[in-house]
Structure 1
């Protein structure tokens, strides 16, 4: 039932809200404060409230039309840019660059050394700079470096380019997760994150076929593998140019009317995480370091990302089943179907039943654990290669967990500096785990049983940590209800204003975890 208050009380609260801040406020603060008396049921009739909800859906639809497609292209292109190495290795990259021993593993890992080095400037960029412009410049730079990869002649040159690639891509994930949270409500956030997350598998499927075709280009000045980098580099630069023209916040969206801009701010204000601020508040770093959720989240990331070594070795693992180079590409395609299909299925479920964040961080691991167990168990003996390939396809269901983790971070950490620090920490661990991942695969081997066993253990522990995260959030929400009372309509409005004053989730007494 909607709670109503009289207009005098509402006006009084609004006046208080406008002067309550201490000077460190969000871009959307004044808009929200000026309209706080008429938001989602306050001072509205039931008919007016229904009209507001229709307008809110229309605003979300405009964001889907103008922004979501670009998010999808960004994630898809970014993923296949990283997957390019796994395709290139099938077309004599190791031979042409004279890579021996563990050098291919080092080439794979060097990207994440650059990623690691880029985290401090990445945190600064995410906290202070316009997000769409950060994404645009990042995309154009990594596209240029993809083109530069074509000129690599040896191990040292490839290592340098891979380091710079990682460095330039460092701001992408925190910027995109923050960008999604700027435009969508908590309920909408998880679904949109899953939609753009599904583009990893979708684009991998499409561009595996492109790589298959490019691999047949012979007798040209460019090597077979260089054609892959040429096409992906040009696409990346063009995408970066497109992102330059997107709005950095809802207030700057030229495709919204003035009324719709107010509604856009009202919608996300109640996430209690704000829209966009420009001041770095160092106390929020300490707030994060005292938060148990911070440590659980980064531990989950490490466990999830070490198995990501498969992304550079997946073609080599599949070829070890007995496929040639072109059939290896085709045999790997269903992995992308499993990945994209799982993400879309979970997106539909999240839209129907709610965010499902922590469930999405554990349940997709079940088919992945089953698949990798079967591949490991059939390492020795004369087992059908297509049967092993089928089990291998199931492993990619674990890809669902990463977008759910990103959605969890996007709405469960408030305060611009705190969230930027958490993203930065997550990506430091992300990079460290991805550095480790390729080295669990033995060099020059056709037997990857040890790596598969390690990944199996990591999947199992990852599932346990996801359960612990859910239990902690349930306990924390009940504890806050006991201390501060249930969150009613007035508390929601006060909490939204706290979020727009750049307060952290631990400072804001109305904040509750979304699980």
Structure 2
């Protein structure tokens, strides 16, 4: 998955001028305060004359990182998604009857996960800032595997609420952790393709475990009920991948045993070009000035928050009630599981297609956040418009339902946007925390749009979701134009930065500013990717 570098902040092969070397030699003390643990290796690479990172060597390192890390990242993120989605399969069996759920109890069981997710965001953000990101991801994965297995022992409403809440607590660091983890190993140009790759695992694993759930639905002679078997399989899979992560995945390029010392130098130099630091957090201190900048001085923070809130309101409902909506179309519980797999094929296939264009063309993030919404709007409009039309074709409505899941394509693009456009370790951690707080809020509210009085077709909920998708499209367009305007302002104020005409002294200053943990607003060499 090698990528061609086309933007200044992703430029890898260059010579360092005398002025740039002086900046490096003067940076070890005084007010510059280099905080990045990778600085010494970066300085060693530069030496006293010049450094030239061969694009072929860079691509070789990227491929090696992909080979050793991406498969495990892909599996873990996919398992993380289907562990949440398992409830949508369980409800198609005897889940509600076995746990004596009535009225809106199922809505609360759906939402309580996100109360745990919401409450754990600050501790999760602190842990990701204070401790090695890789270790946090691996340990929490093992913890949530035990919670998945504990679901099997639930006998009543209170028991399932506790398990779902704790599942949300231990899954809280995963999405934010993946964003931070990717930024430690890949250039900004490379991050989007890798994010799309492990992001597509959501749909692919939904397909895989949808088929598994379909098969378990026929296990009528088992001592465990069908829904308990689903949680047993997912709990064991989560445990295995969590242990594998802890054993195989390094915390930073400096800790990657599969890289030679020369390759580690290349790896550090590659990510230094992001102007976000080169290896990992240095002093592990929480910088409250970066928190204030993120929340009160950066307009793109709240545009991104609005986008995620409006996209997660439908997600919260459709993740847990979508199978019931589809059941009202196809009229058969096991057939609903089988047919529902098509929606995941639709979304995961789009992610792979979009990842191809994202690798080929830079500034594709906001396009990926908006265009899929148009498909979701079209699909949801068709399902809603034919709700009371007895002449509507069954499979035409099913295909329209599949189109709705296009909104899921925007999630990895949103994560990639966060990882590429928010510099400063505390600022990026804060943005991740706040984004996931509103992710949780949207998913908490979403299921309550699907009221029992609106069952089984849930037309009011579908209309609400349609409005949310339209709002997301508008916000995504506004966000793109805002970033274009900001880059133009910076080019006018500080000079145009391009691969053809670039002041190497300024470039080195931007890299060192990233190692000093400066934010995107304070680093004048930083340019936003769209």
- Specify whether residues 37 and 21 from structure 1 end up closer, same or farther in structure 2 by C-alpha distance, changes over 3 A only: farther
Asked if residue 350 in structure 1 is aligned to residue 353 in structure 2, the reply is: no
Note the 1:401-420 alignment, pairs <5 A. Answer: 401-420=410-429
Q: Which of the residues 121, 130, 133 maps onto 1:131?
A: 133
Task: Give the one of 287, 298, 306 matched to 2:313.
Answer: 306
Match of 2:486 among 457, 466, 476: 476
Confirm whether residue 296 of structure 1 aligns to residue 298 of structure 2.
no
Q: Which residue of 1 aligns with 2:114?
A: 112
Q: What is residue 235 of structure 1 aligned with on the other side?
A: 237
Q: Deviations over 1:289-318 (max 9, x none)?
A: 211111111111101110102011111010
Per-residue deviation, 1:23: 3.7
Query: Which residue of the partner structure matches residue 266 of structure 1?
Result: 269
- Counterpart CA distance in 2 for 1:372 and 1:408 is 26
CA pair 155-5 structure 1, distance change in 2 beyond 3 A:
closer
Q: Hey, what does 1:276 align to over in structure 2?
A: 280
After superposition, the C-alpha distances for 1:374-403 in whole angstroms (9 at most, x for unaligned) are: 000011021222211110001111111110
Q: How does 1:54-133 map to 2 (within 5 A)?
A: 54-133=56-135
Matches within 5 A, 1:11-30: 11-19=21-29, 22-23=32-33, 25-30=35-40
Check conservation: 1:17, 1:33, Cα contact below 8 A. no
Cα distance in 2 between the residues matched to 1:431 and 1:380: 33
The equivalent residue for 1:384 is 393
Residues 7, 37 of structure 1: 8 Å contact kept? no
Distance 1:98 1:510, change over 3 A: same
For the 8 Å contact 1:18–1:30, the answer to whether it is kept is: no
CA distance in 1, matches of 2:197, 2:310: 23
CA contact (8 A) 1:272 1:497 kept: yes
Q: Is the aligned partner of 1:505 residue 2:505? A: no
CA contact (8 A) 2:187 2:271 kept: yes
**Number of the residue aligned with 1:368:** 376
CA gap of 1:5–1:204, structure 2 versus 1, over 3 A, is closer
1:163 corresponds to: 165
CA gap 1:324/1:7 in 2 versus in 1, 3 angstroms: closer
- Are residues 142 and 414 of structure 1, via their aligned partners in 2, closer, same or farther at CA, if it must alter by over 3 Å? same
Q: Secondary structure at the match of 1:35?
A: helix
CA distance, structure 1, for counterparts of residue 130 and residue 24 of structure 2: 28
- Shift in Å, 1:24: 5.4
Q: TM-score, normalised by structure 2?
A: 0.93
The answer on 1:285 being equivalent to 2:291 is yes
Q: Specify which of 393, 402, 406 is matched with residue 397 of structure 1.
A: 406
What TM-score, normalized by structure 1, do the two folds share?
Answer: 0.95
How big is each residue's C-alpha offset from its partner over 1:23-57, in whole Å with a ceiling of 9 and x where there is no partner?
4501112222343468xxx836xxx65xx111110
Alpha-carbon distance between aligned partners in 1 of 2:159 and 2:432, rounded to the nearest angstrom: 30
Matched with 1:424 is 433
Question: For 1:177-224, what per-residue CA distance to the aligned partner results, in whole angstroms no more than 9, with x for missing partners?
Answer: 110111110111000000111111111111101001111112332111
Distance 2:24 2:90 in 1: 60
Deviations 1:112-145 (A, max 9, x none): 0000010110110111111111011111111100
Evaluate the alpha carbon distance shift between residue 149 and residue 483 of structure 1 in structure 2; reply closer, same or farther with a 3 A threshold: same
SS class of match (2:383): helix
Which blocks of at least 5 consecutive residues in structure 2 are unaligned? 1-7
1:79-117 Cα shifts (integer Å, max 9, x gaps): 111111000001110111111110001000000000001
Match of 1:364, SS state, is helix
Tell me the CA shift for residue 355 of structure 1: 4.4
Is the contact made by 1:33 and 1:497 (CA closer than 8 Å) also made in structure 2? no
Superposition map of 1:172-211 within 5 A: 172-211=174-213
Q: Shift of the alpha carbon at 1:279?
A: 2.0
Residue 433 of structure 1 pairs with residue 442 of structure 2: yes
Query: Is the CA contact (8 Å cut-off) linking 2:149 and 2:236 kept in structure 1?
Result: yes
Residues 476, 355 of structure 1: alpha-carbon distance in 2 compared, 3 angstrom cutoff: closer
* Cα distance between partner residues in 2 of 1:186 and 1:145: 35
Q: Equivalent of 1:153, from 155, 161, 164?
A: 155
Alpha carbons of structure 1 residues 5 and 237: separation in structure 2 relative to 1, 3 Å: closer
C-alpha RMSD over aligned residues? 1.7
Q: C-alpha displacement at 1:19, in angstroms? A: 3.4
Change (3 A) 1:380 1:506: same
Q: Distance in 2 between matches of 1:346 and 1:323?
A: 33
